[in-house]
Structure formats: structure tokens, C-alpha cells
Amino acid sequence: MQMRGTVRFRFRSPENDIDIIIEGESSVVESIRQELGLQGRVGFIQPLSARLDDGNEPESQPAMGGEHNLDEAHDENEKLPGPPPDPSSIPAVVRRIGDLDIKSKISELDGPSRTAPQIEYIREFLESIDEPEPLSNNLSGDPMAEAWLQILLTLVVREHGQTSLSISAIEDLIGERINREGTELEIFLNRLWIMGRLELIYGGAEIHYAPNPSWLVSQ
């Protein structure tokens, strides 16, 4: 039995500061070992892509096996459990680009419809309700103003399906009620954003603020 294929031979002699590494075809490596006088049990051989040969195989056969053996192994790996796939049993869904009606699909989920906030309707609603109780948490510095803003954004989210409201709309609806307009209102809203009760949204014509869901009125 002899080894065929790529191998690596290594011989080390720390006492003589010798470290020899030979890598290549097994017959070439063995020839170099004999030239160096390192044949026999000197050093060790590590097979890289080699196998043992009984001497009856032709030289033209590759060390890793013939193509026929590789094809057989490949065919065995391709066999999957179960019946063969039947593409005709899968229904074809063909939809032209742009034909999907997103609004109708959303309405099928029985979710709240999204409409543009009607400023006058919201104003009438705010005028019809009693003055809210100031929030117990006074970290914002103005618990009454925060209570009005909480009611406003709750109405916008749950009645109109909107996620945010612009600064100008907030000022128009409750600016006089909370006695905050312009820069003073922006500072107040920014403070609530820093506290994590509002989300700041950039984009469009102006800045919007969205409420944190946990901060909205429960009823």
C-alpha cells in the first residue's frame, strides 16, 4: 500500500535548529526525502488530499477518486425524502404592479380608518369637555398644559388614525388654553420629547410630534 495525492512532510530537530517542510504530490515528496536522506521513519507525513493505493490503480485516476464515483455520490445527495415536487399543485398568484388597493386591504382588517384631522371638529370637541385634571407627574413643569396636550393627541391618534400632529396645529388648537405659543410652545414640546413622552418627527413642511403610546389617555 502506498499513498497517492497531495501530502505534507515535516522533520524537526530543535537541537540542530532544523525545521523542514515539504508539500506536494506524494511521489515528489518521497523523492526529495530520499535525496535528503530522510526516508523511512524519519519525520512524519500528513495527507492533505491523499489516499492509500493498493498499486493496481492506473496513474491517470485522480487521488480523490474517479468522476464516476463523484457522480454517484452527487446523485445520492440530490435525492430528497418524500414525493417529488409538483409545481402544478401550487396556485399561481399573478398581480400587475400597481393593482394592489392598499386602503381596501387595510379596511378588511377592521382597523381604524385614517382621516385628515379636522381642526374645527377637534376645536369643538375640546370646547365641549370639562377642564382636565392636572397630571400628577409634574416633571414637565406644567401638568395642566400636559393634560390638554395628552387629550389632543389621544383624539388625533384614536379618532383619526394619525400618528402625529404639527406644531402649528397644536398651537392653533390648545395654544391659548395652555398659554404657550411660538418658541415657548416649542420649548415645552421639546421638554416632553426629552422626557420620552413624545416622539420628534422631521420631514414635510414642519416638525411633527407623536405621542408615546404609554402616555396616551387610557379611556
Q: What is the CATH number of the domain that holds 194?
A: 1.10.10.10
pLDDT of the residue at 131? 84
Same domain, 123 and 209: yes
Evaluate whether residue 158 is within a structural domain.
yes
Same domain, 125 and 211: yes
Evaluate whether residue 180 is within a structural domain.
yes
Q: How far apart are CA 9 and CA 44, in angstroms?
A: 6
Total tally of structural domains belonging to the chain: 2
Same domain, 124 and 209: yes
- Which cell goes with 135? 397630571
Q: Which helix (H) or strand (E) holds 22?
A: strand 18-25
Evaluate whether residue 89 is within a structural domain.
no
Same domain, 38 and 123: no
The residue-averaged pLDDT of 1-26 equals 80
Nearest CA to 132 among 120, 146, 117? 146
pLDDT tens for residues 176-207? 888 888 899 899 999 899 888 898 888 777 88
Q: Which domain holds residue 31?
A: 1-53
pLDDT of the residue at 219? 47
Evaluate whether residue 90 is within a structural domain.
no
